[in-house]
Structure 1
Amino acid sequence: MSNNVTVTSQPSPQLKNNLAMAREMNPATIDNAMCERKWGTQICGCFENKRHCLLGTFLWPCMKCHMANRIGEFPGVGCLVPGGLLAMRVKIRTLLGIKGSICQDCAVVTFCEPCAVCQMSRELDKMGL
């Protein structure tokens, strides 16, 4: 004999348990678990690469378009999309396993945009992208 069970409702998600677990976790723990390294160069490390230094000084908007293309995004996202450079920085940091936060990324692209563009480009160069 088989035991047939009639299902009359969908199983309820364990949302309460998941929320409780998320509240208990420390954001630093999450960051450290997912990201393994720091940026390869400092934000003001433009002088480590003369090419990046010159491009970052005189042609950094073009550099943003080229970098967007390198990471598989529409080339104009860094210049035409509000918050596009921030999104690109978060994408690069996440894909390459670099420690940091959205708040730090926001501050860097807001106050040091040309330097941020150079740092991101240097990081992509180091990774061969």
Structure 2
Amino acid sequence: MAQVKPLEGYSGYEYGQPPVTAQPQQQTNTTIIVNQQQATPQLRAWHTSLFGCFEDIPTCLCGTFLGFCLMCQVSTDMGESACVPCCVPTPLIPLRTKWRTQQNIEGSIMNDCLYVHCCGPCVLCQLAREIKTVKTFR
């Protein structure tokens, strides 16, 4: 059997396999953050209490006698459609929850539901007063 000589310039070259050449490796330093702590916003209390209706008599009267109109106004002031009171069942719950989460006000959805079902007009007036207060601070 005859011995096969490798081609010149290709040491260890065997038939059917390409030559292996060493590639220069680049070293990169990559930092991967696995757990990043996020700053939690500080929760605050409502500016007015739930039963603080006498702090704003016109809003209290509007909430008592023209509640639907006040709810349409509150909905519009929050950037929602004025039709929310017509189309959403128990519209004060999502409106109060939306405002509470946007403004970082303490509370929970369960509390929102309980307050709305037990003291709906007071919740509406509190929400209207709160929106009015926040808008004057801007």
**What TM-score results when the alignment is normalised by the length of structure 1?**
0.71
- Going by fraction, where is helix more abundant, 1 or 2? 1
Q: Deviations over 1:19-48 (max 9, x none)?
A: xxxxxxxxxxxxxx4442111111111111
2:3 aligns to what? none
Query: Which structure has the larger Rg over C-alpha atoms?
Result: 2
Q: Pairwise CA RMSD of aligned residues?
A: 2.1
Q: Residues of 1 paired with 2:44 and 2:69: CA distance?
A: 28
CA contact (8 A) 1:46 1:53 kept: yes
Work out whether 1:60 is the aligned partner of 2:67.
yes
CA contact (8 A) 1:35 1:99 kept: no
1:83 aligns to what? 90
Count the aligned residue pairs: 102
Name structure 1 gaps, 5 residues minimum: 4-32
The residue identity in structure 2 corresponding to 1:42 is S
The residue identity in structure 2 corresponding to 1:90 is T
Work out whether 1:42 is the aligned partner of 2:49.
yes
**What TM-score results when the alignment is normalised by the length of structure 2?**
0.67
Q: Residues of 1 paired with 2:125 and 2:47: CA distance?
A: 12
2:126 aligns to what? 119
2:103 aligns to what? 96
Q: 1:34 to 1:52 in 2, by over 3 A?
A: same
1:110 CA displacement = 1.0
1:111 CA displacement = 1.2
Tell me which stretches of 4 or more aligned residues in structure 1 moved more than 3 Å.
none
